[in-house]
C-alpha cells in the first residue's frame, strides 16, 4: 500500500512507470486519528506501506511525524529512503556555512509567537533556514533586515524544477530584486548566523595582557589564541608571535 499526501499526484507517477496495481490511500496534515490507526493496523497485520509526501521529505514540513511516532510506539519497523529535501539543497546552493545550521521552516504568521521567535534567533550564531510563501517573502525579508541586520543570504525558489532560481547577496539586495519582480513557487530563504562584532582598537600590549589573563585561568596557549581571535580583529600570525614571547 502507498499512503500519499496527494493521491492524484502519486497515481500519475505510478501510471508513468506502469505500476498499476498498488492500493493508494490518502494521508495528509488533516488526516484524523482513525486514518493513522487504519495504517498502523495494516502494518501490524504484516503489510508493507510506503509513505509519500507531495514534494520533499515526509515529516520535514510535510505530513508524517504523527504516523511515524505511532509506528515507533507500536514497535513497528520504520525505515527511510533519502529523497528530495528543499532545506538541505538550498543550504548547499547558498554558499553559506553548512557545518552548523538551524532549520526553522515556516515562522508563526503573526503576533507574539513570531516576535519571540525572531528575537530568539537574532543572536543565533549558525546559518538559519526558513520556508516562506511567495505572498509573504517580501515582508519576511524586510522584517529580517530590521531585526537581524543586513546579513548575507540566499533565496532559492522552485528548487529542482524547471524555473529554479537562486538569488544571493545581502538581504537588502534580495529585497530589491523581489520588489522589482514578484517571485512565485516554493521558496527557501537561507541567511548567515549572528556574528559578534570584533574589537578593532587595541595595542600589542593589550593582546599580551589578554593572553596572560586567559593563561592564568588555566587555559592552554592554543585555546587562549583561539579565544582571542574570536574577540579581536587581529591577524593570526601576529597574535601567535605575541603569544610565543609569553
Looking at the domain assignment, is residue 6 inside a domain? yes
Instruction: For residue range 48-101, list pLDDT tens digits in order.
Output: 999 999 888 999 988 999 999 999 999 999 999 988 899 999 999 999 999 999
My answer on whether 6 and 67 are in the same domain is yes
Work out the average pLDDT over 5-32: 89
| 189 three-class SS | strand
My answer on whether 161 and 208 are in the same domain is no
Confirm if 171 and 146 have CB atoms less than 8 A apart. no
Residue 166's pLDDT is: 96
Distance CA 104, CA 227 (A): 29
Instruction: For residue range 99-136, list pLDDT tens digits in order.
Output: 999 999 999 988 889 988 998 898 888 999 999 999 99
The number of domains in the chain is: 3
Residue 30's pLDDT is: 83
- For residue 59, the domain's CATH number is 3.40.1010.10
My answer on whether 102 and 158 are in the same domain is yes
Confirm if 176 and 197 have CB atoms less than 8 A apart. no
My answer on whether 176 and 215 are in the same domain is no
My answer on whether 100 and 44 are in the same domain is no
My answer on whether 120 and 183 are in the same domain is yes
- For residue 100, the domain's CATH number is 3.30.950.10
My answer on whether 98 and 161 are in the same domain is yes
pTM exceeds 0.85, yes or no? no
Looking at the domain assignment, is residue 142 inside a domain? yes
State yes or no: pLDDT of 21 exceeds 80.
no
Looking at the domain assignment, is residue 187 inside a domain? yes
Which H or E run includes 231?
helix 221-231
My answer on whether 104 and 168 are in the same domain is yes
State yes or no: pLDDT of 190 exceeds 90.
yes
My answer on whether 121 and 50 are in the same domain is no
Looking at the domain assignment, is residue 199 inside a domain? no
Residue 141's pLDDT is: 96
My answer on whether 48 and 90 are in the same domain is no
Residue 109's pLDDT is: 87
Residue 154's pLDDT is: 98
Q: Write out the residue range of the structural domain in which residue 157 sits.
A: 86-191
Looking at the domain assignment, is residue 81 inside a domain? no
Looking at the domain assignment, is residue 90 inside a domain? yes
State yes or no: pLDDT of 204 exceeds 90.
yes
Summary mean pLDDT of the chain: 92
Residue 119's pLDDT is: 87
My answer on whether 121 and 179 are in the same domain is yes
My answer on whether 68 and 110 are in the same domain is no
State yes or no: pLDDT of 197 exceeds 80.
no
Amino acid at each position: 500500500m502507498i499512503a500519499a499526501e496527494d493521491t492524484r499526484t502519486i497515481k500519475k507517477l505510478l501510471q508513468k512507470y506502469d505500476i498499476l496495481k498498488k492500493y493508494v490511500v490518502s494521508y495528509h496534515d488533516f488526516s484524523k486519528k482513525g486514518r493513522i490507526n487504519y495504517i498502523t493496523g495494516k502494518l501490524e497485520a504484516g503489510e508493507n506501506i510506503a509513505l509519500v509526501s507531495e514534494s520533499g521529505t515526509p515529516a520535514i514540513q510535510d505530513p508524517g511525524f504523527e504516523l511515524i511516532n505511532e509506528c515507533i510506539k507500536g514497535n513497528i519497523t520504520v525505515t527511510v529512503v533519502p529523497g528530495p529535501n528543499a532545506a538541505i539543497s538550498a543550504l548547499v546552493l547558498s554558499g553559506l556555512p553548512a557545518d552548523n545550521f538551524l532549520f526553522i521552516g515556516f515562522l508563526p504568521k503573526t503576533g507574539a509567537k513570531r516576535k519571540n521567535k525572531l528575537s530568539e534567533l537574532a543572536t543565533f550564531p549558525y546559518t538559519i533556514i526558513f520556508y516562506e510563501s511567495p505572498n509573504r517573502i517580501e515582508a519576511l525579508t524586510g522584517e529580517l533586515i530590521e531585526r537581524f541586520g543586513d546579513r548575507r543570504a540566499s533565496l532559492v525558489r522552485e528548487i529542482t524544477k524547471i524555473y529554479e532560481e537562486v538569488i544571493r547577496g545581502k538581504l537588502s539586495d534580495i529585497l530589491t530584486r523581489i520588489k522589482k519582480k514578484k517571485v512565485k513557487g516554493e521558496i527557501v530563504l537561507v541567511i548567515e548566523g549572528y556574528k559578534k562584532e570584533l574589537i578593532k582598537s587595541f595595542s600589542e600590549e593589550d593582546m599580551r595582557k589578554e593572553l596572560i589573563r586567559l593563561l592564568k585561568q588555566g587555559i592552554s596557549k592554543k585555546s587562549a589564541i583561539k579565544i582571542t581571535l574570536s574577540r579581536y580583529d587581529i591577524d593570526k600570525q601576529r597574535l601567535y608571535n605575541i603569544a610565543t614571547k609569553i
